[in-house]
Structure 1
Amino acid sequence: MGRLFGTDGVRGVANADLTAELALGLSVAAAHVLAEAGTFEGHRPTAVVGRDPRASGEFLEAAVVAGLASAGVDVLKVGVLPTPAVAHLTGALGADLGVMLSASHNAMPDNGIKFFARGGHKLADDLENRIETVYEQHRTGAPWERPTGAGVGRVRDYDEGFDTYVAHLMSVLPNRIDGLKVVLDEAHGAAAKVSPEAFARAGAEVITIGAAPDGLNINDGCGSTHLDQLKAAVVEHGADFGIAHDGDADRCLAVDGSGEEVDGDQILAVLAIAMREAGTLRGNTVVATVMSNLGFKLAMEREGLEIVQTGVGDRYVLESMKEHGYALGGEQSGHVIVLDHATTGDGTLTGLMLAARVAATGRSLADLAAVMNRLPQVLINVPDVDKSRVHTCAELANAVTDAERELGATGRVLLRPSGTEPLVRVMVEAADIEQARSVAGRLADAVKSTLG
């Protein structure tokens, strides 16, 4: 069996790759690993379970709840809420684990299972490996230890989760956002009710699009991966700016008042400066990935701020933040983590903090985002190559050195093997788009010829 856990939980086509049987078995295994069910006398393990609005989430939720309860775990069902809300509630309620059913920005046929440990934290690799090991042992014949009678888990709806999460968002907002007109694109996803409620309570005039989930339309031509509708709506309504989430609302991208995109790097830059002024940016340092635009690095250097770079993936950003005590990190895709207030990327929190900065300064989002000049970035995927040699091939290393010498201080080269496919990603940034395309094309050719 190949590894079940990917970069963000277990994900696949619902009822094909991700079946009810798999969801049930993984939940029992997670109960044994994370809740340590039955090991403490008198201890009643508890789990928080939430989902996004996908139709498949209904049967997968039933399977997860059945698995947890059969392992002796009491279950609090919070219903349709964003991933960061489930993470927050797991910590706030002192639960032993949390489970979120979502495939994030993926299309509707997909779904996924994300587990959270105590405190609402994403799982380290060793915990994921232990869950897989326990699951596989019992899948191949070893019987589960099953409680009976009063030992089985109890299940109840926890309707207070919505207000508890929104109240948390209000409590950490640095200032109100009265007078702002904001368009919110909810991707027909998990934040369709939470995000408009939070922005309205904070004082904004709210216009929503993509806020009518029917179980089938999540991420369908809307949300953070499809910004055209949001751009048009912001201009049409004369809004100050727009905010777009993905299906489980752990991401936030923005659109300024003229309809121009403000990506995760720019949002991170705006929040970094705001937090430095507030004295909450510990070490005057921001954590970002190697895929962040070079313009972000140059902007932070001009502002006297340090950058720590990690591998691609918000889990690596979070690991670095927790290890070194940093307060802010994120990705170009819109995963932004404010560690003092959230244990994972939180799109609603990010959008509110961005709005708070606009309101506090009286400046437009376009003006604030202009602190960073995005350099042209070209990405080419080179398939059918031996990606394992990308960092050891001397001939390819020489080609990269030549490219970096040509680009100088205003450009950057990154070659990265795909984590899931037999291909190498070639990324080139330069001050001029034509130069970026030319250099990227030559490097792609070099990858083909040396690793093919």
Structure 2
Amino acid sequence: MGKYFGTDGFRGEANVNLTAMHAFKIGRFIGWYYGRYHKCSVVIGKDTRRSSYMFEDALSAGLTSTGADVYLLHVTTTPSVSYVVRTGDFDCGIMVSASHNPFYDNGIKLINGNGEKMEQEVIDEVEKYLDSDLESIPYARMEKIGRTVDYFAGRNRYMGYLMSLATHSYRNIKVGLDCSNGSASSIAKGVFDALGAETHVINDAPDGTNINKECGSTHIEELQKYVIGNKLDIGFAYDGDADRCLCVDEKGNVVNGDLILYVAGVYMKQKGTLVNNTVVTTIMSNIGLYKAFDAVGIDYEKTAVGDKYVYECMRENEYKLGGEESGHIIFGKYATTGDGILTSIKLMEVMLASKKKMSELTSPVTIYPQCLKNVKVKSKPEAQQDADVQAAVKEVADKLGEDGRILVRESGTEPVIRVMVEARTDEEAEKCVDYVVDVINKKGHAL
């Protein structure tokens, strides 16, 4: 982790932790860095937060001041920026979004020329410049000053790409979409309408302050009620920048990222497109998913938490499917990042090709109850390495056996140890977590 950038960009409260000057300086560095040997072209997209307009303008000012040309997609999704960059003649892309965070936060995500998250060595240089003298990079002059271009065509091209991936007509299928009052509001309905669905949309009226507010993938209960109340066949919920997708089946049950990986993985295995017969997960995926994969003979990898690490594992091993329980799902044949709307289209393909309802497709998976508690500690390494804490963790693991698991890990951004247990019942999971937390407290590690 850097001083400013985490695994998903530079994120913070607008004009508190993340300011317009930060954005201006990031723009200046990126424009100079990529424009050292040729004319630099950068794509910018943004979500619907009020501050996104400010950051878009500040980034554009920084970029054009060093001679870069800026192509504005305006309100769009993070995966659309990735698509436009990797399929066009652009040096990189920038997305202004804080994903699932509340409206008063915002973020800056940097995307390289291949549509992937920016290389760490470039991020490191950006961070150095943020703490340096602003005048260390020269300003462009006269005809070398850059310009901005309204580039709605790029977003439309992305929408066309999504439509081209559908293998069936959605005619007579009643689909619910929760756009989280975010980026999906400008794209999702148009795609599903064009594919013939009877599209029902909620939370697609952004006002700058209602993004993710009691809606979207982080508040999926609203979509659950909507699907049941309107007798829909399926529903999809996105987060603020639409790189995540969670699903609701026809019975109103939540289909989380683990279940999506199972449905997609089994289908791809049947079609012979699951390269190396492997799905990439994170260490936070549910033990029930792994048991279900074992039952159908699908192998799996486990990475650190973060879609960045999932994609790195996929790229290094040429795997084609990976993701997180939170709904970041990467279909490696079609995208280099999680894409909520693309995930929806691939799930529709499985439903229509198999002629099964989503509840039938997910029925082989039993998701184990999970309990997660965070403990603020004085020192994360000392708490983790304490012999008595380790003994307590081993005792719980031995007790659970094959009917559960325990995971104790350090937060990457806070002075916190996370203790997570999956077990046959909620009561057993909580009891096991409390046992380890008590040991951490008794040993004096807690704040």
TM (norm. structure 1) is 0.96
In structure 1, the residue corresponding to 2:43 is in which secondary structure?
strand
Match of 1:101 in 2: 96
Whole-angstrom CA distance in 1 between matches of 2:254 and 2:442: 37
Q: 1:81 aligns with which of 73, 76, 79?
A: 76
Match of 1:220 in 2: 213
Structure 1 counterpart of 2:70, one-letter code: V
User: Is the CA contact (8 Å cut-off) linking 1:94 and 1:119 kept in structure 2?
Assistant: no
Match of 1:169 in 2: 162
Write the deviation string for residues 243-266 of structure 1: whole angstroms up to 9, x where unpaired.
000000000001111111111100
User: Is the CA contact (8 Å cut-off) linking 1:38 and 1:72 kept in structure 2?
Assistant: no
Write the deviation string for residues 18-70 of structure 1: whole angstroms up to 9, x where unpaired.
1111100011112233x1x132xxx3210001100111111111000111111
Whole-angstrom CA distance in 1 between matches of 2:291 and 2:406: 15
1:186 aligns with 2:184: no
Structure 2 runs not aligned, ≥5 long: none
Structure 2 counterpart of 1:92, one-letter code: T
Whole-angstrom CA distance in 2 between matches of 1:299 and 1:446: 33
In structure 1, the residue corresponding to 2:61 is in which secondary structure?
helix
Q: 1:122 aligns with which of 117, 120, 123?
A: 117
Q: 2:284 aligns with which of 291, 309, 312?
A: 291
Whole-angstrom CA distance in 2 between matches of 1:331 and 1:170: 24
Whole-angstrom CA distance in 2 between matches of 1:256 and 1:231: 8
1:446 aligns with 2:439: yes
Match of 2:105 in 1: 110
1:196 aligns with 2:189: yes
Query: How much has 1:89 moved relative to structure 2?
Result: 0.5
Number of aligned residue pairs: give it. Answer: 445
Query: How much has 1:172 moved relative to structure 2?
Result: 2.4
Match of 1:19 in 2: 19
Structure 2 counterpart of 1:10, one-letter code: F
Deviating more after overlay: 290-299 vs 433-442: 433-442
Q: How does 1:260-275 map to 2 (within 5 A)?
A: 260-275=253-268
Whole-angstrom CA distance in 2 between matches of 1:163 and 1:264: 27
Structure 1 counterpart of 2:74, one-letter code: G
Query: How much has 1:390 moved relative to structure 2?
Result: 4.1
Q: 1:61 aligns with which of 56, 65, 68?
A: 56
Whole-angstrom CA distance in 2 between matches of 1:174 and 1:132: 44
User: Is the CA contact (8 Å cut-off) linking 2:112 and 2:119 kept in structure 1?
Assistant: no
Q: 1:167 to 1:444 in 2, by over 3 A?
A: same
Structure 2 counterpart of 1:293, one-letter code: N
Match of 1:52 in 2: 47
Structure 1 runs not aligned, ≥5 long: none
Match of 1:160 in 2: 153
Match of 2:139 in 1: 146
In structure 2, the residue corresponding to 1:53 is in which secondary structure?
coil
Match of 1:38 in 2: 36
Match of 1:400 in 2: 393
Query: How much has 1:325 moved relative to structure 2?
Result: 0.7
Whole-angstrom CA distance in 1 between matches of 2:265 and 2:248: 19
User: Is the CA contact (8 Å cut-off) linking 1:95 and 1:119 kept in structure 2?
Assistant: no
Whole-angstrom CA distance in 2 between matches of 1:182 and 1:100: 28
User: Is the CA contact (8 Å cut-off) linking 2:32 and 2:137 kept in structure 1?
Assistant: no
Query: How much has 1:84 moved relative to structure 2?
Result: 0.3
Query: How much has 1:106 moved relative to structure 2?
Result: 0.3
Match of 2:233 in 1: 240
Whole-angstrom CA distance in 2 between matches of 1:145 and 1:280: 50
User: Is the CA contact (8 Å cut-off) linking 2:9 and 2:110 kept in structure 1?
Assistant: yes
Match of 1:92 in 2: 87
Q: 1:371 to 1:176 in 2, by over 3 A?
A: farther
Structure 1 counterpart of 2:113, one-letter code: R
Query: How much has 1:389 moved relative to structure 2?
Result: 2.4
User: Is the CA contact (8 Å cut-off) linking 1:264 and 1:332 kept in structure 2?
Assistant: yes
User: Is the CA contact (8 Å cut-off) linking 2:165 and 2:345 kept in structure 1?
Assistant: no
Whole-angstrom CA distance in 2 between matches of 1:430 and 1:174: 39
User: Is the CA contact (8 Å cut-off) linking 1:28 and 1:67 kept in structure 2?
Assistant: yes
TM (norm. structure 2) is 0.97
Q: 1:6 to 1:413 in 2, by over 3 A?
A: same
1:254 aligns with 2:252: no
In structure 1, the residue corresponding to 2:385 is in which secondary structure?
coil
Structure 1 counterpart of 2:249, one-letter code: D
Write the deviation string for residues 350-379 of structure 1: whole angstroms up to 9, x where unpaired.
011111211111111111111211001000
1:135 aligns with 2:130: yes
User: Is the CA contact (8 Å cut-off) linking 1:180 and 1:359 kept in structure 2?
Assistant: no
Match of 2:425 in 1: 432
Whole-angstrom CA distance in 1 between matches of 2:173 and 2:352: 7
Query: How much has 1:444 moved relative to structure 2?
Result: 1.1
User: Is the CA contact (8 Å cut-off) linking 1:70 and 1:153 kept in structure 2?
Assistant: yes
Whole-angstrom CA distance in 2 between matches of 1:282 and 1:327: 6
Q: 1:370 aligns with which of 363, 371, 374?
A: 363
